Each structure stands twice: as C-alpha cells, then as structure tokens.
Structure 1
Amino acid sequence: MTEPATAPEVASAPPPVIEFRGVGLTYPGPPPVPALRPCDLTVLTGDYVTVVGPSGSGKSTFLNIAGLLDRPTSGRYLLDGVDTGAVRDAGRTALRGRRIGFVFQSFHLLAHRSALENVTLALLYNGTPRGQRPALAREALERVGLGHRVDAVPSRLSGGERQRVAIARAVVARPSLLLCDEPTGNLDTVTAESVLSLLDQLHREGMTLLVITHDREVAARGRRTITIRDGVLKENDAAARESGVRT
C-alpha cells in the first residue's frame, strides 16, 4: 500500500525586525509632554527605512525607543519577535548588543585605540569568544573597505574612514538592525556619498537599515520614508498600506 503523499513543509516568515503596537512616550509633568504619540510601525527583514523631521519633532525619542535606550510609556515594542517590555534591564542590554548596531554622527571611536581594536571592543559584551574577536573585527573592516587601515588610530583616519570604522563596529556582530543617527552629518558631500553607497551595499547584502536624518537627499536613499512632526509618525498612504504604519 502506497503511503499518502505529504505536503512539503513551508518555512514560516521571520517576525518583523521592528514591530510597534501603539508605542508612545510621554514625559511626566506637570504638564506631561508627549514626545512620541502612540503609533504602529512594522519594519521587515531587509527593509531600508529613513526617518525625517525637524529639530524637536521626536526623532531622538523614536531612535532611543527603537534602540532600546528608552522604554515607551505606552504600547508594546517587539524586536525580532521579542517583547522588549517584558525584558529586564540586563536582558535589554544583552538584546541590544546582539540585535542592534549603532552608527552615530560623531563616530564615538576611542582615540587611542586602533581601528581593529575599536571594532574588536564591540564583541566584548555579546559573548563572542576572545580568540575569535580579532578575526571577526578584521573581516568587518575589510567588508567596509578598510582592510589596509586596521592599525591606524582615529586621528590618522579621514572623516569618511572614521565613519567606516564606526559602521564596521556596528555590523561586526551581524545584528538584525543597523540604526544610524545622522550618519553623514559631519561629512563633506563627496565623503557622505561614499558612506551612503556603503549603506546601500549593506542593504543589498540583506541588512535591515533604519536611518534618522534631517537631509532629504539622504532620506531619498531609503525604500520607505517616515516623517515625525510634533511627535506624530506618518508615512505616505501607499507605503503605509503596504508596511502597516498607523498613528
């Protein structure tokens, strides 16, 4: 007797990298100040989202919540399917170290450490065995085009090279999300373009990007652009229908 055919297993889609469900943050008063009004947002694996808005609009609050630096006062934030509100502070720190890479406008490199050492230090707190760290750091620097500058200290690097070291440090642990805060703010036009091209390359390789910027040209590099104004997060109607953004 022939065994009945079984349907092939279908791999389930991974959870969204970012899922906001009514997430908002209000600073206590008096009077209370709503820095980010309750919103829904979904960012899928491999997405490239840019976030724009004027000074004081809520961009920094949004970044701090997405980066697990602040806790929202309302709603739920799921990162890779993990309900971050249910995780204690130590667990949030570990989750941030494993799942999120940060790139800042001011680089935040240690002045007296080489490029290799700056990148290696990013692996100190995520459980990577000591013996594996230098090779992984060197691989990350090669990935951003700085394999020939591993021994240079930041003062011997150009602004663009320093930002590339910062990006290597952010991606060395292969995070789920690369969170960039004004990544070209301190760079001239030509250097900024080279850094943006690197971000494009990382996106093509499958990295999920969330870029905070005040620059409309930088914002245009993303596949989706979200605007924050007076704490209200909005996306254009077509993109919102596709991605699930509601305010």
Structure 2
Amino acid sequence: MNTSSHAAAPPVIEFRSVELSYPGPPPVQALRPCDVRIEAGEYVTVVGPSGSGKSTFLNIAGLLDVPSSGCYRLDGIDTGAVSDAERAALRGTRIGFVFQSFHLLAHRSATENVELALVYQRAPRRDRRERARHALRQVGLGHRVDALPTRLSGGERQRVAIARALVTRPSLLLCDEPTGNLDSGTAASVLGLLDELHQAGMTLVVITHDAQVAARGERTLVLHDGVLADRQTVGQA
C-alpha cells in the first residue's frame, strides 16, 4: 500500500461520532458513536458476533441507512448534507456491493447481469456492453460472457456479482460475507480475486464471521454490542 498517496486524498470512509439508534420501545442503539477512517487502497475486514452491528455498519457505509447522529464523509463528501437523489447517485457510482447471495437474474446472461449496474448512467448500449465484458474479463470470466447463471458454478456466479460491482468503477467495494455460500476451494479462489483487486488499488471493506477471511485484511474492525474497535492485523503472527 502506498501511504504517500493517502496524504493527498481524503479517506474513502470517514466516520465522526457516527451512531444509529432505532426508536423503541425499547430503543436500540445498533451502532454506538464511533470514529473510523478507511483510506484509499486499504483492505479492511469487519468482524463480530451476530447482532453486533456489522450489518448496521455496512448499511451506513453503503448509504443504505442514514446515521442518527454524527458525520459520514465518503471520498470527502458530507453524505448528510446531500439530497436523497444525490445520495442515490453517490451509492450508484462510488460504491460497489457484493453479497453472500449473488442476486443474479437467472434468465439474463453474465454480460446482461453486469450491464444492469450501468442502466442509470445513461451510457450508450454498446458502451455498456463493452464495459460489462471488460469487467467480466477483469474477474477471469472472459470466456463465460454469454453464459446464464444457471450454467455457472457458485464461484463463477460470485465473480459475475463482483464484476457487476466493479463495472461502475467505484472507489469502494463493500462485501458482505462474500464467501458464505461457497465451498472452501471456491472461496479461496474468490478471496484470491479480492486480493488481486486490492493490489490493483481497490478499497475493500469485507464483512465476515470467518477468522481466516478476516486475517487477509490489512486491519480489522471489531464490533460487539454496537461498539466499534480497530485492530491492526498486518504483520501479526
């Protein structure tokens, strides 16, 4: 990771006293006030038991939920100071999502599934098709561009999902249990792909319950009862 470039750019994610509470009765503080910075090009994993606040963290970082208080800046943009339409545009252009369930349309080809992420960018259809196929080549599926999801393995389907997340050229890739539905061999292949994306400069945040997956990150955020702690993992035994 090139730390010299970090100084020139704002962090991709910056939480300042960010919290999220749900009204009762009884009220639930899903995420207690926290501060965190994730710089461009970092690979950060997020761990914690069920109900600890991992999904809440992901939803706030992904602009799916609005914090109850505090400031969240994405690429230096105060997300609390923009309209709903501007938030949707930020989410669609700056954040790529990869989920445990692949969320692919069964009767659409791999290329068409990836193209769907570009529908709201008003790009010409030919450009969308070429960008989708480029993204599929980027994840090692250049030979499967016309295949239906029903003809793909679990690992290939997850690679299509990753290509769909990448095709908008986001600054942040948010992954929620990306290997949760995969066998160990296929999971290793997908994690290898994430490593390659990180080495190419992508900022990765991976939610996981798997200690081996968490250890691949440069550092790990630990959530417990809505409290966020930060621990360095690089170089640890």
Same fold (TM over 0.5): yes
Find the aligned partners of 2:81 and 2:103 in 1 and give their Cα distance: 30
Find the aligned partners of 1:94 and 1:109 in 2 and give their Cα distance: 22
- Choose from 14, 17, 22 the match for 1:19: 14
Residue of structure 2 in register with 1:4 after alignment: none
1:11 to partner: Cα distance:
11
Equivalent residues in 2 for 1:40-55 (5 A)? 40-55=35-50
> Which residue type is aligned with residue 205 of structure 1?
A
> Which residue type is aligned with residue 109 of structure 1?
L
> Which residue type is aligned with residue 19 of structure 1?
E
1:105 to partner: Cα distance:
0.2
Residue of structure 1 in register with 2:159 after alignment: 164
Residue of structure 2 in register with 1:244 after alignment: none
Q: Which runs of 5+ in 2 are unaligned?
A: none
RMSD, matched Cα: 1.5
1:12 to partner: Cα distance:
6.7
Higher mean alpha-carbon deviation, 180-189 vs 22-31, is at 22-31
Higher mean alpha-carbon deviation, 142-151 vs 129-138, is at 129-138
Matched, 1:221 2:177: no
Equivalent residues in 2 for 1:52-71 (5 A)? 52-71=47-66
Residue of structure 1 in register with 2:84 after alignment: 89
> Which residue type is aligned with residue 54 of structure 1?
P
> Which residue type is aligned with residue 31 of structure 2?
L
Query: Is contact 1:101-1:177 (8 Å) kept?
Result: yes
1:176 to partner: Cα distance:
0.4
Find the aligned partners of 1:11 and 1:52 in 2 and give their Cα distance: 25
Residue of structure 1 in register with 2:137 after alignment: 142
- Choose from 228, 231, 236 the match for 1:233: 228
Q: 1:121-144, CA deviations, whole angstroms, 9 ceiling, x for partnerless residues?
A: 111113433331000000000010
Identity %: 73
SS of match in other structure, 1:147: coil
Q: Which runs of 5+ in 1 are unaligned?
A: 1-9, 240-247
Residue of structure 1 in register with 2:29 after alignment: 34
Find the aligned partners of 2:71 and 2:124 in 1 and give their Cα distance: 33
Residue of structure 1 in register with 2:94 after alignment: 99
Find the aligned partners of 1:210 and 1:20 in 2 and give their Cα distance: 14
Query: Is contact 2:18-2:33 (8 Å) kept?
Result: yes
Q: TM-score, normalised by structure 2?
A: 0.94
Q: TM-score, normalised by structure 1?
A: 0.90
Q: 1:97-127, CA deviations, whole angstroms, 9 ceiling, x for partnerless residues?
A: 0000000000000111000000011111134
> Which residue type is aligned with residue 82 of structure 1?
I
Find the aligned partners of 2:164 and 2:29 in 1 and give their Cα distance: 33
SS of match in other structure, 2:46: strand
1:88 to partner: Cα distance:
1.3
Query: Is contact 1:94-1:126 (8 Å) kept?
Result: no
Query: Is contact 1:76-1:83 (8 Å) kept?
Result: yes
- Extract structure 1 runs of 4+ deviating beyond 4 A: none
Equivalent pairs counted in the alignment come to 229
> Which residue type is aligned with residue 103 of structure 2?
H
Residue of structure 2 in register with 1:199 after alignment: 194
- Choose from 167, 170, 173 the match for 2:168: 173
Matched, 1:124 2:156: no
Find the aligned partners of 1:217 and 1:16 in 2 and give their Cα distance: 26
Find the aligned partners of 1:222 and 1:55 in 2 and give their Cα distance: 20
- Choose from 197, 206, 209 the match for 1:211: 206
